C-alpha cells in the first residue's frame, strides 16, 4: 500500500498540540505522527527540535524538494511547529481535514510576506497538492528521466460508485389475544314433584295392603347450561417482502492535477492532460 506524507505548519505550539491530539483521537498511529520545532530547550512528547542540517527537508518530503524550503526554515525559526503525518492514500483526505481545522500557516502568504519585508522577489514553485492553506496533502517527487529531462506526475480522481444496505425502518407483526363478551339463549327443562290430596267417594273399595307402610320416591330434575369452547382457524396473515429496483443518478465532483507553463515571463497557459489534441496524454512543451 502506498503511503504519503502530509505536512502542516502551525504558528503556535497550542495549534500543533490540538492537531496532534485530534489525530490520536481519530486513531492515527502515534508512530505515524511527528512534530518538528526549531525552539531551543525541552520539547514535548513526540516533538523533535528541528536541526537545520542539509537534507532535512529532503528526508521529510521523501526526496530532494523542488521548491524553496527557506519559507519553512524561517517559519520554524519564528517559533512555528511542523506536524508531519505518514498515512496510506485512503486516509489522506481524512487526515488533511483534521490538520486544516487547527489553523495551519498559509505558506504562499508567508512567502509573500517575507518577500515584502526583505524587498526581494521570491519565486516559489511547488508540486505539492494542497487541499487547504498550509497543508500539503502529498509531497510528489519530480522524477529525472534518462534523457536528462524531468517529469511531473499528475493525478486524477475517478468516481467509483458502490452500494450499501440502509435500514429504512422495521415492520412488526404482533399477535395478541382479545376477549369479547358473547351471549346466547338456551331453553332449559326442569321437573318438580306436585302433591295433591283429594277426597274419594263413599263406598270406594279398600285396596289390599291397607294399613301397611309404603314409600314412593319421585326424582325432581333440572337442566343447567353447560359451556364448552372449540377453536377454529379464522384467517391467516401472510408476511412477505416486495422487492423492486430503481436507477439513481449519483452526482459528485472529481479533482485532477494540471500544469501551468510559463515561457520567458510571458503570460502563462494551462494545458490539460485530457486535451483531445494530445491523445498520448501529455502535450509537447
Q: What pTM was computed for the model?
A: 0.38
Measured over the CA atoms of residue 257, residue 258, residue 264 and residue 266, the dihedral's sign is negative
Tens-digit pLDDT profile for residues 116-169: 665 544 333 333 333 344 454 344 444 556 666 777 888 898 888 888 888 888
Within 13 Å and on the Cβ side, how many CA atoms surround 115? 12
Tens-digit pLDDT profile for residues 178-210: 999 999 999 999 999 999 998 988 888 888 888
Tens-digit pLDDT profile for residues 49-63: 444 444 566 666 655
Amino acid at each position: 500500500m502506498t503511503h504519503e506524507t502530509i505536512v502542516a505548519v502551525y504558528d503556535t505550539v497550542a495549534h500543533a498540540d490540538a492537531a496532534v491530539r485530534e489525530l490520536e483521537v481519530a486513531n492515527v498511529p502515534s508512530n505515524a505522527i511527528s512534530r518538528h520545532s526549531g525552539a531551543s530547550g525541552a520539547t514535548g512528547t513526540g516533538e523533535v527540535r528541528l536541526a537545520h542540517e542539509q537534507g532535512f527537508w529532503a528526508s521529510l518530503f521523501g526526496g530532494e524538494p523542488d521548491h524553496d524550503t527557506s519559507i519553512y526554515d524561517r517559519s520554524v525559526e519564528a517559533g512555528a511547529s511542523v506536524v508531519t503525518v505518514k498515512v496510506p492514500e485512503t486516509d489522506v483526505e481524512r487526515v488533511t481535514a483534521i490538520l486544516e481545522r487547527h489553523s495551519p500557516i498559509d505558506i504562499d502568504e508567508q512567502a509573500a510576506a517575507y518577500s515584502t519585508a526583505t524587498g526581494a522577489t521570491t519565486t516559489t514553485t511547488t508540486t505539492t497538492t494542497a487541499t487547504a492553506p498550509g497543508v500539503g496533502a502529498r509531497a510528489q517527487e519530480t522524477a529525472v528521466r534518462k534523457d536528462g529531462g524531468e517529469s511531473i506526475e499528475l493525478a486524477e480522481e475517478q468516481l467509483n460508485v458502490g452500494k450499501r444496505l440502509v435500514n429504512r425502518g422495521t415492520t412488526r407483526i404482533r399477535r395478541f389475544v382479545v376477549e369479547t363478551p358473547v351471549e346466547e339463549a338456551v331453553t332449559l327443562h326442569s321437573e318438580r314433584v306436585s302433591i295433591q290430596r283429594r277426597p274419594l267417594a263413599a263406598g270406594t273399595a279398600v285396596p289390599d295392603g291397607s294399613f301397611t307402610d309404603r314409600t314412593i320416591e319421585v326424582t325432581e330434575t333440572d337442566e343447567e347450561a353447560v359451556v364448552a369452547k372449540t377453536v377454529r382457524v379464522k384467517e391467516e396473515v401472510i408476511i412477505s417482502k416486495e422487492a423492486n429496483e430503481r436507477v439513481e443518478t449519483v452526482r459528485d465532483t472529481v479533482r485532477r492535477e494540471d500544469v501551468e507553463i510559463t515561457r520567458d515571463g510571458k503570460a502563462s497557459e494551462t494545458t490539460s492532460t485530457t486535451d483531445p489534441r494530445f491523445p498520448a496524454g501529455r502535450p509537447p512543451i
